[in-house]
Amino acid sequence: MFMKFKKSWMILAITFVAGCNSGGDKEHDYSLYERYGEPTYRLKSAYTIDLLNHKIGTHEYPIYVHTPADYDADGYPYPVIYATDGQWTSSEYDAILDELGTQVILVSIGEGPRNQRQRDYIQPGLDNYFKFLSKELIPQIENDYNIDPKQRLLVGYSFGGNMAGTIMMLDDPFDPVFNAYAAYDPAFRHTFNHQIHEFNDYFDQLVDDRYAASEVWDTEFLMTGALQSTLAENVETHSERLNKRGFQDLKIETAYFDVDHDNIALPSFRYTVEYFYPTNPIPNPTDK
């Protein structure tokens, strides 16, 4: 699994769009392009349901790929971070990686239409979003970049934290897409009859199902909580839920920051990078 590095953090502000409305925008939100320039990819998913017109196969995701300054396409394969909500965090996450000199590739995934995240990051839409990640996005990225498929980390914030924690449960117990997950101040939710509900009952069942499939779970899960947010209690509750089951090889890390929900993503990402990855260079290809 990943090596550990000493823990530190910084607190920076980001913009968070709250609320649970279905979104009234009639066109795609291209503000991400204005902030960061033309994306590396624009992927139209055959699986996800566009929030605006409720049709499958019409939604486009802007994807930004950030590589280390000395990226070597022919050298030792790199770990990769797949991070959602790139419309808020892409350049800020890039800057943290550059500052630390971390040898990892970052794939920032924008939501596209405003509030699409409320369709993709909670059930029932999350099942389709997982298909988009595993069947469309990852094959495209890892065909074009020098990536180690055994070192994929999935990162999400708020509803995105719900996404990461849920995909962790839904991932194949014996051949998982991701081998580590991180959820920042996760808003554990699912939908029932078009209403958003607390996640506890559904999540309890997912844990039971995962344990029935295999008691061995060789993965790592990092959760962070904002102490000035009511969602911080979700971190402790879910950590206890997982630990109570007694999975073999499951490693859970928790951390808390004295910030509000809007300002949890950047200190959490810095913590994530320093927790999972060393700052020393990628090994020489001859060391494989």
Average pLDDT over residues 45-65: 87
Burial class (CB in 10 A: 0-12, 13-18, 19+), 17: middle
Q: Which two tokens stand for residue 186?
A: 């996760």
Any domain includes 160:
yes
Band of pLDDT at residue 110, cut at 50, 70 and 90: very high
Any domain includes 268:
yes
Range with the poorest average pLDDT among 144-148, 164-168, 210-214, 274-278: 274-278
Any domain includes 235:
yes
**Structural domains of the chain, count:** 1
CATH number of the domain bearing residue 258:
3.40.50.1820
Handedness of CA 228, 221, 99, 104 (dihedral sign): negative
Mean pLDDT over the full length of the chain = 84
> Phi and psi at residue 271, in whole multiples of 5°?
-60, -45
Band of pLDDT at residue 88, cut at 50, 70 and 90: confident
pLDDT at 199: 62
Token pair 């770990």: residue: 79
Any domain includes 74:
yes
Q: Which range of residues forms the domain containing residue 252?
A: 38-276
Range with the poorest average pLDDT among 33-37, 54-58, 69-73, 92-96: 33-37
Band of pLDDT at residue 20, cut at 50, 70 and 90: very low
pLDDT digits (tens, 9 = 90+) for 148-201: 999 999 999 999 999 999 999 999 999 999 999 999 999 887 665 555 566 667
The whole-model pTM stands at 0.85
Any domain includes 195:
yes
Contact residues for 286 (Cβ-Cβ < 8 A; gap 6+):
none
3-class secondary structure, 24 = coil
Any domain includes 13:
no
Any domain includes 24:
no
Spatial separation of the C-alpha atoms in residues 199 and 166, rounded to whole Å:
10
Any domain includes 17:
no
Spatial separation of the C-alpha atoms in residues 201 and 209, rounded to whole Å:
13
